[in-house]
Amino acid sequence: MSRQPGTSQLVDRMRKPNLLMVLVVAGLCCMISCRAANPHMECKVDIPLEYKITPFDPPPNGEPESIRYQKAYEAFWWNCVLVKARNLDGRCPFVCSGTPAADAGCSAGAVDAENKICDLAKRYGCDAVRAYLKILAQEPEAGKKMRPYFSEPTEENIPKQ
């Protein structure tokens, strides 16, 4: 079987690692390992399907249920971040009054933040997570997003028996 001229050179090139490809893979590995070395969390709202649909147009009480869910979720998520930045043992409130969507958003936001913070504390330790939460709490978005429900970070008070 005869090869066409230049085929062996092409095969040799393909066998040698492409320097650009090696650099790209190394860079991605570095980014992943660097990110994994520090606590990280984001407020990501996933609106349940039942609240994405508003049966009335316009809604009788002003905002669609999806917006009410999102605002409540973000407010309670950010409040929990600020509460835990002050005191990792603090309890985040997770109940509010309002439409069913707002009520569900409050609960989901607080519980999601609390669970993520707990997972981060197990993985990175309390000191690293507290330091990270203090930085996260300084973001302008934190105060703005929690304003519909909180004027300041609000911890759940449990009556002592």
Please indicate, yes or no, if residue 161 is contained in any of the structural domains.
no
pTM: 0.74
pLDDT at 8: 61
Q: Give the pLDDT confidence score for residue 120 in this predicted structure.
A: 97
Is residue 34 a part of any domain in this protein?
Answer: no
Residue at token pair 């504390």: 121
> If we measure between CA atoms, which residue out of 88, 104, 87 comes closest to residue 96?
104
Residue 26 lies in a domain: no
Q: How far is CA 11 from the centre of its chain?
A: 46
- Per-residue model confidence (pLDDT) at position 75: 97
74 SS3 class: helix
Residue count (the chain)? 161
Q: How high is the pLDDT of residue 33?
A: 45
Mind listing the pLDDT tens digit of every residue in the chain (161 residues)? 555 556 566 555 555 556 555 555 555 554 544 445 789 999 999 999 999 887 666 666 778 899 999 999 999 999 999 999 999 999 999 998 888 999 999 999 999 999 999 999 999 999 999 999 999 999 999 889 999 999 999 988 877 77
* Structure confidence at residue 97 (pLDDT): 86
Q: Would you say residue 82 lies in a domain?
A: yes
Amino acid at 22: V
Find the domain containing 119 and state its range. 43-146
In a domain, 99, yes or no: yes
- Counting the structural domains of the chain, the total is 1
Q: Is residue 8 part of a domain?
A: no
Does any domain span residue 156? Answer: no
Is 80 domain-assigned? yes
Q: What would the two tokens of residue 161 be? A: 């028996």
Residue 14: CB atoms within 10 A of its CB come to 9
- The letter for the amino acid at 144 is K
| CA–CA separation, 91 and 43 (whole Å) | 18
Residue with tokens 């911890």: 155
SS3 state of residue 159: coil
**Four-residue CA torsion sign, 13, 16, 19, 25:** positive
